[in-house]
Amino acid sequence: MADNYEYDVFISYAVEDKIEIVTELVGQLKNSGLKVWYAGQELRVGKSIEEVIKEGLNKSRYGVVILTHNYFTKDWPRKELHALWGKNDSLIIPIWHKLSTEDVKKYDPLLADKWGIESSKGIDIVAAEVIKAIENHKKEGLVNRIAVQKSVKSGFSFKNILTALSILILAAISLWFFVIRDLPGNNLIKETVESRIDVLQAKVINDHGAEMSKQNGEAATIEQVAKYHERYESFKSQYRNEYYFKTGYADFSFKKNVEPALGIEIDHLTPRNNFGFTYPNIFVIDYLPSPHKMDVKTIFINTQPIEYTILNEEKIDDTTYTVEVSYKNNIRYLSIDLTYSKRSDWIKKREYHFQGFLPFETYQFKKEDDKWVFTAVL
């Protein structure tokens, strides 16, 4: 049988175990010359995890399964495991990480009876035993191919052909049943995420345009903005800062809530770094309320395209499915209102208003009338 696999090894693991064991093991296997399929490196922007992992399973000859308590409680790793069983269980190399035989029996009796490598030996030894197992299996495969070639010369066995076809059919059914069946489609997930991006972006632009028209705002430079902020800082008086962040699904207020939600330190945003943006469109609205009071709004619109990556998908139960998404360039709008007076007895105020996406969001899909529909961003 010809070996047409692009990868030697498919790594099946729970994302919670990535730092503790997976990353180092993958590095050692790659350094040994093995071609390793690893979700941490293969997932690409805008591509469904389901599609990428199915592709990895099909292109990999062996499966290294890193079994942990996390692994057995996650929906997707167990689907990968069943798909590997469907291909050929002799090609599965289990690694037991912080698990006893009784633990494995409780989760999967078939795996408890299968030879495995204990991670307590150390990553170096685990990697060496994985490599040895693969080399031994390749040698056995070479002997078997020679035997098959000899038998072909003396005539085909109809019984053997039927057996091989049956195995292939069962493998295909297993892959479909455990990986493809009864999940929200790739198009639904992609369209949902991209629709949310388009809707929020359109709202930001429309609201901004309406405000600029109503308040006679105008385009500005970062140097102009810096002067307004320098003047605000120069006035010595009591002050109050206020912070707001809207995502379209959640509203945050107060610095203690807004900063963790955005994942940034707001005090680090200054005119010197364009308030965290790369080539933003900048605007100013000068309200000019009175000779003694200044009220200015500086506005930043993010011009960089938002990018997203699907990090994880999980079937919670028969009717609930979640998709975790991360964003790049997630802050789409920032306005800073500066209110201050020449009178020292006035309290000056600075208001930050952010609009955009959380750095990480979880999309929830529900099955209604035998059809998956998007229901919420959690």
Catalytically active residues, by annotation: 80
Q: Are 283 and 212 in contact (CB under 8 A)?
A: yes
3-state helix vs strand vs coil in the chain, percent to 5: 50, 30, 25
CB atoms within 10 A of CB 272: 8
Q: Are 348 and 232 in contact (CB under 8 A)?
A: yes
Torsion angle of C-alpha atoms 142, 143, 149, 154, degrees rounded to 10? -170
Phi, psi of 134 (to 5 degrees): -65, -45
Side by side, which strands form the sheet with 239-246?
218-219, 281-286, 293-301, 331-341, 348-356, 239-246, 251-253
Q: Are 321 and 314 in contact (CB under 8 A)?
A: yes
Query: Which residue shows structure tokens 């629709």?
Result: 195
Distances (CA, A) of 187 to 44, 45, 74, 193, 195: 16, 15, 23, 10, 12
Residues 6+ positions from 135 with CB-CB distance below 8 Å? none
Identify the H or E element spanning 353. Answer: strand 348-356
Residues in the chain: 378
